[in-house]
Structure 1
Amino acid sequence: MAFNDESKQRIISIAQNLISAKVAAPSQINPTMVEEQVSMAVGLLHPEGLDETHKQAVVYELIRRFSSWIGKDTTLVNAEGHVAWLNSARKKGWRYWERYRQWSERKMSDAAIKALDDSTDRVLGNLEDPQREGRWDRRGLVVGHVQSGKTGNYTGLVCKAADAGYKVIIILAGMHNNLRSQTQIRLEEGFLGHETAGLREMGQLIGVGLINGEARIQPQCATRRADSGDFNRRVAKHLAISPEERPWLFVVKKNKSVLDTLIQWINARVADSVDSSGRKFVSSLPLLVIDDEADHASVDTGEQLFDADGNPDEDYQPKVINSRIRKLLNAFEKAAYVGYTATPFANIFIHRSNWTTDEGEDLFPSSFITNLAAPSNYIGPARMFGLLTTEGRVGGLGLTRYIEDHFNEDTKKGWMPPKHDGTHVPLHKGSDTVPPSLIEAIHSFTLACAARVCRGQGKEHCSMLIHVTRLNNVQKEVHRQVDALVRDMTQRLSRKIGQTQLVADLKALWESDFVPQSEEIREAAPDLMDGVSLPTWEQVLAALPDSLADIKVRMINGLAKEATDYIEHEGVGLKVITIGGEKLARGLTLEGLCTSYFVRTTKMYDTLMQMGRWFGYRPAYVDLCRLYTTPELVEWFCHIADAAEELRLEFDLMAESGETPREYGLKVLSHPVLMVTSPLKMRSSKTLHLSFSGQVLETVALHSNKERLQQNLNATKSLLSKMGAPASDSPRKNLLWRDIPGEDIVEFFNAYSTHREALKVNSAMLSEFITSMMKVNELTTWTVVLMGGGEGDPYDFGNGIMVSNMLRRKGDDSAAQKGRYSIGRLLSPSDEALDLDQAAWEEAMKLTLQSWSDDPGRRKDGTQPKKPEIPSGLAIRKIRGDGVEGVVKPSPENGLLLLYPLDPKKSDVSALFDGWDAPIMAVGVSFPKSHSDRTVAYDVDHRHWENYGPAD
């Protein structure tokens, strides 16, 4: 038998099973044992033996699998009207899931498969038993990390749902033909087991069909893998189904015409009952709808009105796609809906009381929300960019390269300025060429392709993303320029004519960038690099001509006929540079993504998060990956990633406390950072209603203007003079005051000036919020702490109040160039606990440990996490607000104000503060969890939203 990708996967699968049977825990596995089991598997399939390179590739893959680990999912559940049903006995004889599990063993570790099994059990169990009689409806949301394997998760859910008895399964697969086709192909491999040739026609067996291809367990499918294979009138005319048949799969676009045709067919050919109003519905076939990218197009961006009694306007017309999805669900007596997304904010904004006669309830995930954990080898925002600390952002992989030559900052013109229309012609300094940064990025991709060939990965896909404009006509021009550049490079290297400068440039980039970067990553993230080494320049140079010749330049947009057809190049390896806009921004997977060139300007939460195609899994080639983008976009991306993480932590705490999706929805709706999401999806373009309940706010964008610095210092001194002498039991090196009237805090914030770039902290809003809460007897008294004990000079505030040492917070150089003092975290982890007594500290610590999640997707490395040793801020604020019966008294009336005097000389950007020796006053505010639902209204106009760029 010849050694190919199929035999490699079979060897891995056999060896993996042998290892799993031999050891009780992954810690017992070592390289010697792995080599022994691989040799045994090779002996079974290749008695003649294997080339040492191929054998070591198998050994490395198994070591990587067994060294990975996965955290635990968390779920908010509303069990009202739900009947628990899923147990081991109910799962006996399930064959769709069993063959998918076996198929997944080819590329997944035992730990990953077990996590998938547990995760899909949890989601399916929160749906209803398809055999349950009567009318029922369950709606949930599954939240994963960007590019973390959501499709694999819902494929497993589909298999189990079919085993359990769901008869009609509809996948809503994005807005475009190529994404729908890509999803269809994934479902053919993982669920159908065969290619889709035509209606009720089976093509050749693939995927799970190679494990068990019995015709009697092959699901039926009404859609095909071709771009034109969506559900249509021709298919509907010849299609009818009955309850006794095998399950039916529909993979359809979120498109009005497609969904209307599907609904009409259901009403005409499937509906078997009529309700009292004469409306047809399906009573015999349980329905499961899976909504991929559920925050995109599915959310109703209109606003339904309610009367004085809270009843919705029944004549309201929801937006087109939202209406059709709801009509689909409303056409079945037994229906389940599960949305999948990495950016759930728009879904949380859905009004949970929206209802119309034709559509029924809106798509708010009222039944459950599940947060999926990622495997340890997942590269997410925390690992890519690092984590925010008081020393700034630390621990990132260092793969980012900044772009600053795509336009002229002064003239706002150039190759790709932030604002341009469809007539824009991309010229760099007047020439019909791409800027040097893009030339370097393409050189980087070329080197990555060659290096992967040298590592034995030549048959695996390699992709580059160029995402610079959403306008198709401008993309065509970029495609033309990039294609000309790649063809020129190919000809120079293949013909060895005029190649001297090109080879010199490539060598210089290899030695100055790839060699040191690979070593850095090997030290910082050994779990991602075990078993692979960096090839020599001579090896790379020898592989370059063929690698370059294989690179295709393709456009992926609404006008392009081409698409990245990875399936046709399976086992050969597609090397492709993709140029596009919205289609690349959401859903479409770029296999083997190595290099990204990204200068889009949007700062909308969901849009920017979804553009993060560079997240995901990069086994044995992460050191070759690069992200070329602007400093501003990295800052914005880090900002929203931090806010999203904050909400995930809030989610875990609420899940541990037994709260429901509705409570989480209220929390997200009032989150101040979500000012940067689309106003349409927030249901209001003029007024935001914000609450700071259970929040910690900190000023991380600070003034450098001396007038503002003096204003904030004066505000601080005024507050200190009112409070008198600090408490005798002040924490070490800090000064503490208790029982300060809320009016004094309001006056402080009225006098204090927050920076306009401090999106989350606005002194006027804080003043309004505290005033509002005092009217319901909350936030009436405050604890104030003046922080000291840093690395700076002492400072005397007057009236006998002095800090021994001001604090040090490192400023960001790029922000300093724009006149802003921008820091990482202001608060140290323990600062919010400074005024807790022992009982409150212990209860907050207990709650922290109960809600702690070991999700690797949130960490900057792949190591097993240590359990927290101090209470989390979220737990502290919850304990303050709710208390613990018989142990800690609730105190929603007591807020915590932390005053941080920062030493300008220790800022690392001291040139900003030339002539200013006094402290830069930064503030942190810890709000206890409120017992009130009060919010503060914040009025904005449309120009405010325009500052964040277009929301695609």
Structure 2
Amino acid sequence: MNSNYEIVRSMASMMLQKKREEAQGQLQREAITQQVDLVLSMGTWDGVDRESLIRELETMLVQTVGIARTLEDSTGHVPWLAEARAGIEWRYWSRYKQMLQQKGWSPASVESLERLTNETLARLGNPKRDGEWDRRGMVVGHVQSGKTANYTGLICKAVDAGYKLIVVLAGLTNSLRSQTQVRLDEGFLGYNSDPTQEHDGATPPIGVGLIDRSLRPDTNTHRLEKGDFKKANADHFNIHPGNNALLFVVKKNGSVLKNLLAVLRRKANNELNGRPYVTNVPLLVIDDEADHGSVNTKEVPLDDQGVPQKDYDPTITNQRIRELLHLFQQSSYVGYTATPFANIFIHDSAPHERYGDDLFPRSFITNLKAPSNYYGPREIFGIDDRDADIDGAEGLPITREVDDHADSLDFDEREGWMPPRHTRHHEPSYNGRDEVPPSLRKAILSFILTRAVRLARGQVGQHNSMLVHVTRFVDVQHIVCRQVEAALASVTNRLKYGDGDATPRITDELFGLWTSDYETTMSAIDDESCDLVTWEEVEPFLLQSAASIQVREFNGSARDVIDYETHRETGLNVIAIGGDKLARGLTLEGLSVSYFLRSSKMYDTLMQMGRWFGYRPGYIDLCRLYTTPDLIEWFGHIAVANDELRREFDHMANVGGTPKDYGLKVRSHPQLLVTSQVKMRHGTRLDISFAGKVSETTVFHRDEDKLQANMAATVSLIRKLKESGIPIERNPVRDRLHGRGHKWTGAAAWKDVPADILCEYLNGFLPHPRSINTRLIAEFIERQNSRGCLTSWTLAMLSGDGRAFDGFPFGEISMVQRKWHGRIPEDQQENHDSFVIRRVGSARDEALDLNSAEYQRAFQMAYDARLLDEEIPEEDKRPKTSQMRTEMRKARPKSRGLLLIYPIDPKGRSREGENGAPIIGMAACFPEDPNAIEVSFEVNNVYWSQEYETSD
């Protein structure tokens, strides 16, 4: 980078940080522009691009970071950090903080990290406290959001405070372990751990070591392929109280952990009940991707009272992590993950006589807020306004549907280039040819264009990556790699030597993609950090872009990670082809184009596969995700589910909930089977309560017979209501409040409907297997009836803006219109068993039968809850619709439920023409009831493995 540019940036940044403090963290673009112009007026600064500098400073200084929320159980914990802080010399943290500032971290991000690491450290055990203590916690971040930087900061502060032994459990692969070691070399150790780089007894300083070389903690692992812990290293370290801090970065591998445990036992300085025991050496275990590999997936046997037995056989990795913690008198464990669902399903009271407690985060769970420049599921896929439990969000126009990878989009399809079902012997071919399908070739052209635009913008020396994740089989990945290399070479050669007889010209193809996609998308996103450029500016960089791209397989080798490090100065431009090794933790730097076909439908699996989430400064408008309609549909669901769980978490934090409370809350969720069934051993029989929730149909059959059966059941229900003498109310109106009310024009409502009529309807309804379980809902209602609850129901059929329909026994109604997700080509619809909407109901509809007093109570509770949110400006404290939905269920009497029926316009989905009957959707709304009787839900493991996991 131009030295003048760095000088001007540094000067302007210092001046702006002072202004930012004066403005209490709020800076506008005008202030940044003024300071940049002031600095530029002080001299002649050749090579400084004013606009680029303003955008960079704006990204650094205007970024905001939300406040983290924590659920905590302080049992046995003695608060210590507030009193001890002044006496701690924060040398490790200070140099790490300075390194982050030099890397261009925004002040908001550094401040947020400092605040969070202080809060997390305070919840760990006091390393100076005598006696026995054991803390277990978890920090929940976001995929590709900087968790490594987060726990590196915690390690620095923990060592400053007195922790002596740090063990980082760094995933299941050599590549991820090596990548983590590289990051900790830079941020904590301060030197290159590669032993081949040693000169005069030491390896060269890097990262924080260039800031303060006097700090040099020890490590017994290094960054190379074979740098994991080995028994041969047993004599090369000590773990006694007075020694230097010691770091191990190890895989979650049974053999590695066995070797580490064997050596640590030999070095123990005490015994307890005949077993080795380490005293006065505080241990901190950081478990990266804590939901993966660490969770005990074997069943814990229960006694007759349902209490876990104390002698059972956990999985090897889980067992050895617990043994490690159990070996030390003083230990703290912190799991980091973006998908905590499996960890929450850990049994919170399953101690083992030999291995100690399981890894349930009993002490604390901290929920991190994503900074304003992070792009996650909600930003990329959007949330419809109808997802009314949470605030709506418009998705970015960067997803591109793929439908040519297989002969059909059916989950069981086995024919085509890369069908969902295939084995390791599959040989990909498109129309009988050994080549990639057109959609993947288009993705490759997109990557070439993206790289060329970045060059035109002056983003030289930056890493650029493309992800191709289509199979988990290494043998099949080899063939894909060869085909991608051939496709890239063809484009590169034509750009370099001409097209010959090939038509259309390659530059014409790229220009067509530019005009049909890039021009419109860049204008639509209009991010201030992204320069708008013209084709004339981009075209000269096409050959340079294509020629610089390497095609690489990422199958777990540490070599792949180190390539990024060795190309730090010039940037690495790579198409990364892999499977499971790319799906967890591994960071693809500068990832811009993704071609993704995996079909798992577990929330945590899909979230972790989403390598495209993260930070994209200066090139978010160039990012593209090529994937199937089904995956776009499911990521949309994930965006909603993830926000709902985080919202519930924040609510529990506000009312003083504990990790155990949250675990129970998630376990009882009636629709979110959010992790693989094997990780939900204690959820195989799910005890579910629908109290305080809404259960609604979002997945619908394509089968005409089932759709017609649900229509017939609904007609039969309405006839029964008429025969029972229950009056119908057309155009229902909610009782007025403060002179205002709401009229449901065209709708029909029936009040005081007996529960038995409703349950008969629910038991006869045929929901899609991936939708709600109406029979389970009916069972829940019947159980509540035994307590005198849910005995009376309001039933309403909503009207919308769609076509008129007069097939119900009360007259004409207009169908409701919903946005269908996951476009299925017409010639493939008959092979696809479902279609999906994100949300059928709305918050407004839940107010249909509330009277003024009930609505006023809900409004006041929502307002009070909003006052607790420190992040909301005072002038914006009025409750939003999304907050009202939860509070209306609390205000609803326990005796009364609400069933909303939606006659959905099927046009363009299951029936052709203008005369199709509506598709019946429903939403069952339940009042809050802490004493509700749960119902048991036996989940068939074979069904889930077949429906939701890719098999071979």
User: Under a length normalisation based on structure 2, what TM-score does the superposition of the two structures give?
Assistant: 0.90
Q: Contact conserved, 1:697 with 1:760, CA < 8 A, in 2?
A: no
The one-letter code matched in structure 2 to 1:396 is G
Alignment of 1:144-223 (within 5 A): 144-198=141-195, 202-213=202-213, 215=214, 217-223=215-221
Alignment of 1:771-790 (within 5 A): 771-788=782-799
| 3-state SS, counterpart of residue 209 of structure 2 | helix
Correspondence for 2:258: 260
Of 667, 670, 679, which aligns to 1:669? 667
Q: Contact conserved, 1:829 with 1:872, CA < 8 A, in 2?
A: no
| 3-state SS, counterpart of residue 597 of structure 1 | strand
| 3-state SS, counterpart of residue 204 of structure 2 | strand
Instruction: Give the Å deviation of 1:380.
Output: 0.8
Residues 391 and 936 (structure 1), Cα distance of their counterparts in 2 relative to 1, 3 Å cut: closer
Q: Contact conserved, 1:712 with 1:751, CA < 8 A, in 2?
A: no
Residues 480 and 130 (structure 1), Cα distance of their counterparts in 2 relative to 1, 3 Å cut: same
User: 1 CA distance for matches of 2:119 and 2:585?
Assistant: 24
Correspondence for 1:590: 588
The one-letter code matched in structure 2 to 1:512 is S
Instruction: Give the stretch that moved more between structures: 660-669 or 433-442.
Output: 660-669
Instruction: Give the stretch that moved more between structures: 847-856 or 224-233.
Output: 847-856
Correspondence for 2:494: 492
Residues 720 and 256 (structure 1), Cα distance of their counterparts in 2 relative to 1, 3 Å cut: farther
Alignment of 1:566-605 (within 5 A): 566-605=564-603
Of 48, 60, 66, which aligns to 2:61? 66
Q: Contact conserved, 1:699 with 1:924, CA < 8 A, in 2?
A: no
Correspondence for 1:849: 866
Q: Contact conserved, 1:415 with 1:426, CA < 8 A, in 2?
A: yes
Instruction: Give the stretch that moved more between structures: 761-770 or 330-339.
Output: 761-770
Correspondence for 1:507: 511
Instruction: Give the Å deviation of 1:752.
Output: 2.9
Instruction: Give the Å deviation of 1:86.
Output: 2.1
Q: Contact conserved, 1:170 with 1:252, CA < 8 A, in 2?
A: yes
Of 627, 630, 633, which aligns to 1:632? 630
Instruction: Give the Å deviation of 1:683.
Output: 0.4
User: 1 CA distance for matches of 2:870 and 2:802?
Assistant: 33
Alignment of 1:239-318 (within 5 A): 239-269=237-267, 271-275=268-272, 277-309=273-305, 311-318=307-314
Alignment of 1:833-848 (within 5 A): 833-834=847-848, 835=850, 837-848=854-865
Q: Deviations over 1:501-550 (max 9, x none)?
A: 2222111111211111111111xxxxxx2153232223222112122221
Instruction: Give the Å deviation of 1:779.
Output: 2.6
User: 2 CA distance for matches of 1:314 and 1:229?
Assistant: 36
Instruction: Give the Å deviation of 1:116.
Output: 1.3
Correspondence for 2:715: 713
Instruction: Give the Å deviation of 1:947.
Output: 1.3
Q: Contact conserved, 2:178 with 2:558, CA < 8 A, in 1?
A: no
| 3-state SS, counterpart of residue 543 of structure 1 | helix
Instruction: Give the Å deviation of 1:249.
Output: 1.4
Q: Deviations over 1:346-375 (max 9, x none)?
A: 101111111112210000011111110001
Q: Deviations over 1:627-646 (max 9, x none)?
A: 01010111122223322222
Alignment of 1:545-584 (within 5 A): 545-558=543-556, 562-563=560-561, 565-584=563-582
Of 2, 19, 22, which aligns to 1:22? 19
Q: Contact conserved, 1:652 with 1:852, CA < 8 A, in 2?
A: no
User: 2 CA distance for matches of 1:951 and 1:353?
Assistant: 34
Q: Contact conserved, 2:341 with 2:674, CA < 8 A, in 1?
A: no
Alignment of 1:693-708 (within 5 A): 693-702=691-700, 705-708=707-710
User: 2 CA distance for matches of 1:726 and 1:950?
Assistant: 49
Alignment of 1:460-539 (within 5 A): 460-496=462-498, 498=500, 501-522=505-526, 529-539=527-537
Instruction: Give the Å deviation of 1:843.
Output: 3.5
User: Under a length normalisation based on structure 1, what TM-score does the superposition of the two structures give?
Assistant: 0.90
Correspondence for 1:868: 879
Correspondence for 1:362: 358
| 3-state SS, counterpart of residue 938 of structure 2 | strand
Residues 702 and 603 (structure 1), Cα distance of their counterparts in 2 relative to 1, 3 Å cut: closer
User: 2 CA distance for matches of 1:209 and 1:721?
Assistant: 83
Q: Contact conserved, 2:629 with 2:821, CA < 8 A, in 1?
A: no
User: 1 CA distance for matches of 2:282 and 2:9?
Assistant: 38
Residues 877 and 230 (structure 1), Cα distance of their counterparts in 2 relative to 1, 3 Å cut: farther
The one-letter code matched in structure 2 to 1:767 is A
Correspondence for 1:613: 611
Residues 567 and 398 (structure 1), Cα distance of their counterparts in 2 relative to 1, 3 Å cut: same
Residues 664 and 516 (structure 1), Cα distance of their counterparts in 2 relative to 1, 3 Å cut: same
Correspondence for 1:922: 922
Instruction: Give the Å deviation of 1:381.
Output: 0.8
Q: Deviations over 1:881-927 (max 9, x none)?
A: 8xxxxxxxxx44432222334456xx665954753456845334334
Of 754, 765, 790, which aligns to 1:741? 754
| 3-state SS, counterpart of residue 642 of structure 1 | helix
Q: Deviations over 1:543-566 (max 9, x none)?
A: 121222211111011479644621
Q: Deviations over 1:676-732 (max 9, x none)?
A: 631111106964443323221122334563343222232244346546236897453
Of 448, 451, 457, which aligns to 2:450? 448
Residues 814 and 709 (structure 1), Cα distance of their counterparts in 2 relative to 1, 3 Å cut: farther
Identity of aligned residues (%): 42
What value does the CA root-mean-square deviation take over the aligned residues? Answer: 3.1
Residues 911 and 642 (structure 1), Cα distance of their counterparts in 2 relative to 1, 3 Å cut: same
Correspondence for 2:739: none
Correspondence for 2:738: none
| 3-state SS, counterpart of residue 673 of structure 1 | coil
Instruction: Give the Å deviation of 1:833.
Output: 3.2
Alignment of 1:717-728 (within 5 A): 717-719=719-721, 722=724, 724-725=726-727
Instruction: Give the Å deviation of 1:579.
Output: 0.3
Q: Contact conserved, 2:350 with 2:357, CA < 8 A, in 1?
A: yes
Correspondence for 1:399: 398
Instruction: Give the Å deviation of 1:82.
Output: 1.4
Residues 868 and 880 (structure 1), Cα distance of their counterparts in 2 relative to 1, 3 Å cut: closer
Unaligned runs of 5+ in 2: 736-742
| 3-state SS, counterpart of residue 673 of structure 2 | helix
Residues 280 and 357 (structure 1), Cα distance of their counterparts in 2 relative to 1, 3 Å cut: same
The one-letter code matched in structure 2 to 1:625 is C
Instruction: Give the Å deviation of 1:441.
Output: 0.4
Residues 122 and 686 (structure 1), Cα distance of their counterparts in 2 relative to 1, 3 Å cut: closer
User: 2 CA distance for matches of 1:321 and 1:867?
Assistant: 49
Residues 951 and 351 (structure 1), Cα distance of their counterparts in 2 relative to 1, 3 Å cut: farther
User: 1 CA distance for matches of 2:872 and 2:289?
Assistant: 22
Unaligned runs of 5+ in 1: 523-528, 857-863, 882-890
Correspondence for 1:432: 434
Is the counterpart of residue 323 in structure 1 residue 319 in structure 2?
yes
Residues 932 and 82 (structure 1), Cα distance of their counterparts in 2 relative to 1, 3 Å cut: farther
Residues 101 and 127 (structure 1), Cα distance of their counterparts in 2 relative to 1, 3 Å cut: same
Q: Deviations over 1:232-255 (max 9, x none)?
A: 112222222331233211111111
User: 2 CA distance for matches of 1:723 and 1:651?
Assistant: 45
| 3-state SS, counterpart of residue 384 of structure 2 | strand
User: 2 CA distance for matches of 1:910 and 1:231?
Assistant: 58
Q: Contact conserved, 1:126 with 1:368, CA < 8 A, in 2?
A: yes
User: 2 CA distance for matches of 1:935 and 1:319?
Assistant: 30
Residues 938 and 238 (structure 1), Cα distance of their counterparts in 2 relative to 1, 3 Å cut: closer
User: 1 CA distance for matches of 2:184 and 2:157?
Assistant: 13
Q: Contact conserved, 2:692 with 2:886, CA < 8 A, in 1?
A: no
Q: Deviations over 1:41-89 (max 9, x none)?
A: 7899xx7623033x54332210122222122211111111111222276
Q: Contact conserved, 1:302 with 1:683, CA < 8 A, in 2?
A: yes
